[in-house]
Amino acid sequence: MKRTAKREFKYEAIYKAALKVFAEYGFKKATIEDIAAELDTAKSSLYFYVKDKRELYDKAVAYGLRLWQNKVRDAVAAETDVVEQFIIMAHKAYEYLAEDRHLQRILMRDPALFPLFSSQDPYSDINRDSIAMLKSILQRGIDAGRFRPIDIDGVAQLLFAFYVMLIQKTYMFPEGALSRIMFKDGVDLILGGLIAETARKKGRLPTKPKPATD
């Protein structure tokens, strides 16, 4: 194995350990020693890989967010129909945090990591990519005559904001089953607003996959 690849794995191991400890104790209470213990190493060793505690936190969270994004991207790539892609994207992105409890806990403790306001988004580069994915689907949907011609930029921002809000409602400030109903109704309403007249005549709205039962 190449040296650089080996280092990549080391970084992944460090980020995973950090995510686990930060999820359990939060940034403030988690100590470098806790994370070092999780990795069976001396705390000073961590400083070979990261500058300080804050950078370890930031990098670990970025790693976690990229895993999420990649999972959605892969699921979208496995579909061919653009409307199905839209639906899959929405469902995979929405359901992901149910599987990644560490990331969920970290976001719960620290909602500023996934904020509604892009100006205060510490990971705007990552989320820009997500919005680009969304725009690409909208663009291809319009080109194929499946979606009505809409303001792609504005609608993409809007849908992303709506999505962030639902993630917050569901995973970061959960208050019951209402947010899942809102997700369902929201996808329906938005698809209803997006689908072109001509496509509408061909048949019912496309079927949605069953949400994962966990």
* Interacting residues with DNA (CB under 7 A): 3, 6-7, 10, 28, 30-33, 41-45, 47-49, 51-54
175 counts as binding a second copy under rule CB under 8 A: yes
Select 33 or 188, whichever has its Cβ closest to a second copy.
188
6 binds, among a second copy, DNA, none (CB under 5 to 8 A by kind): DNA
Q: Smallest Cα–Cα separation from 133: which of 68, 182, 189?
A: 68
158 counts as binding a second copy under rule CB under 8 A: yes
The distance of closest approach from Cβ of residue 129 to a second copy in the complex, given in angstroms and rounded to an integer, is 18
168 counts as binding a second copy under rule CB under 8 A: yes
Select 7 or 145, whichever has its Cβ closest to a second copy.
145
119 counts as binding a second copy under rule CB under 8 A: yes
The distance of closest approach from Cβ of residue 117 to a second copy in the complex, given in angstroms and rounded to an integer, is 5
Q: How far apart are CA 59 and CA 72, in angstroms?
A: 20
